[in-house]
Amino acid sequence: MGRLFGTDGVRGVANADLTAEMALGLSVAAAHVLAEAGTFAGHRPVAVVGRDPRASGEFLEAAVVAGLASAGVDVLRVGVLPTPAVAYLTGVLGADLGVMLSASHNPMPDNGIKFFARGGHKLADELEDRIEHVYREHASGEPWDRPTGSGVGRVKEYDEGFDKYVAHLVAVLPNRLDGLKVVIDGAHGAAARVSPEAFARAGAEVVTIATEPDGLNINDGCGSTHLEGLRAAVVEHGADLGVAHDGDADRCLAVDADGNEVDGDQILSVLALGMKEAGTLRGNTVVATVMSNLGFKLAMEREGVELLQTAVGDRYVLEEMKRGGYSLGGEQSGHVIVLDHATTGDGTLTGLLLAARVAATGRSLAELAAVMERLPQVLINVRDVDKSRVASSARVAAAVAEAERELGETGRVLLRPSGTEPLVRVMVEAADLEQARTVAGRLADEVKSALG
């Protein structure tokens, strides 16, 4: 039986893989595990619960709230807000637990549950493992110990969350955005209201696309996984830059004035140099993953910034940042963590800080992003394979070794099972795009053959 928790919570097709019964059970299990760990000692526990606009989030939220309240946890429902907003509110309101219902960049039929510990930090792996163990125990029939009478949790709407979060975002900016025109692609997701409001309050002229969620259109041909609409809108409106979020707005990609993509590596480059200049880049270090483009590593070396690389997943970036006391980290996909102002990746904050750097320097985003040159990188997602066997397959290992010999010092190969989807990612970098495509295609075929 596979582990329920992936690199970003529990995720699957809503009402098939992720049911109301599972959402309720996991919430009760989380309450019991945190109580056992002493998190609730000496006080009545409180949880913050939010969601993205997916239709399935409505019934899953109801199940989570019911589970928590039945376990004696008071619940503050904050409604549709970004994942980082739920994390922020969990911290600032002194809550014992935060719960976000979202499948991030995944298509609409999917949904997920993500838990935050006190302070708005992601739960430790061992706590997730304990929650899963307790959930499975009780799913097999063992009854829960449930409070009655005044011991049951109470449920309240917390409508102030939107304004409190937006005010926080604007307050932490180093400078205003007056004079900038920004296009925002909200992915018809959780940032559809938050991001335009924050940019406007910070002084930018805002143009919006994909900011009318109806529960069914989240990530549908828009957002950080589909930049075509943003590129066109930036050029059409003569904007200085464009910002694209994913469904739960914990990530951000950008587009320059000419419609060219600015990915997470480039965003990290721009922010790292700005923070170094301001003296806020602690340890003179930025933390990224092994998926970062080789050009990012070369740029940081040239600019005198240390680069630490972790396994793929923003949780591993965050762990390394906390361990070393670093202030900036992130992923090529646009998860950027600025630990002085957020406990998790925050797409709206990232976009605001990027725009603030453009405003402060008077330089275009294209000019700022040119600090790094992206080497050709080809990524192929190989579906319908047994991703658990990637590390143990001798055939795959031999194919990778051969590819690495062919690329030599001018490129690299990375194979990894997705933490959130049933597939294996094959990534190849090379000085020449055609070589990268050829090697990646050959490796993908071998993975399909060996693991299919």
The size of the chain, in residues, is: 452
Q: Looking at residue 123, what DSSP letter applies?
A: P
pLDDT at residue 1 tops 60: no
pLDDT average, residue stretch 255-268 = 98
Pick from 101-110, 391-400, 404-413 the range whose average pLDDT is largest. Answer: 101-110
Which of the listed ranges 104-113, 289-298, 431-440 does the model predict with the highest average pLDDT? 104-113
As annotated, the binding site for Mg(2+) includes: 104, 246, 248, 250
Whether 104 is catalytic? yes
Residue 443 domain boundaries: 377-451
**Which is the catalytic residue, given 56, 104, 195, 292?**
104
Q: Based on the structure, what is the number of domains in the chain?
A: 3
Per-residue pLDDT tens over the stretch 194-217: 999 999 999 999 999 999 999 999
What six digits make up the tokens of 434?
């055609």
The pLDDT, as a whole number, for residue 384 is 85
Q: Please check whether residues 352 and 388 belong to one and the same domain.
A: no
Q: Do 149 and 186 reside in the same domain of the chain?
A: no
Q: Say which CATH number the domain at 13 has.
A: 3.40.120.10
How far apart are alpha carbons 143 and 352 in whole angstroms?
Answer: 48
* Lookup: tokens for 362: 């008077």
CATH of the domain at 446: 3.30.310.50
Percent of the chain with pLDDT strictly greater than 70: 99
* pLDDT for residue 445: 93
* pLDDT 10s digits, 130-148: 999 999 999 888 889 999 9
- Do residue 360 and residue 401 come from a single domain? no
274 and 185 co-located in one domain: yes
- 300 with 307: CB under 8 angstroms? yes
Taking CA atoms, 342 is separated from 37, 192, 236, 324, 338, in Å, by: 25, 20, 33, 16, 6
What pTM was computed for the model? 0.89
| pLDDT > 60? residue 378 | yes
How do residues 409-420 score in pLDDT, each as one tens digit? 778 898 888 876
In what helix (H) or strand (E) does residue 276 lie, and over which residues does it extend?
helix 264-278
Tens digits of per-residue pLDDT, 397-413? 999 999 999 988 778 89
Kindly state whether residues 312 and 433 are assigned to the same domain. Answer: no
Cα-Cα-Cα-Cα dihedral of 288, 3, 12, 88, to 10°? -50
Q: Can you read off the two tokens belonging to residue 52?
A: 């993205």
Mean residue pLDDT of the chain comes to: 95
Calpha distance 104→29 (Å, rounded): 23
For residues 361 and 271, state if they share a domain.
yes
Q: Are residues 306 and 281 in the same domain?
A: yes
- Judge if 90 and 195 occupy the same domain: no
- The pLDDT, as a whole number, for residue 258 is 98
Q: Which of 28-32, 153-157, 389-393 has the lowest mean pLDDT?
A: 389-393
Among 311, 342, 369, the domain-final residue is 369
Percentage of the chain surpassing pLDDT 90? 83
The answer on 318 and 422 residing in a single domain is: no
Q: 147 with 211, same domain?
A: no
Which residues line the annotated binding site? 104, 246, 248, 250
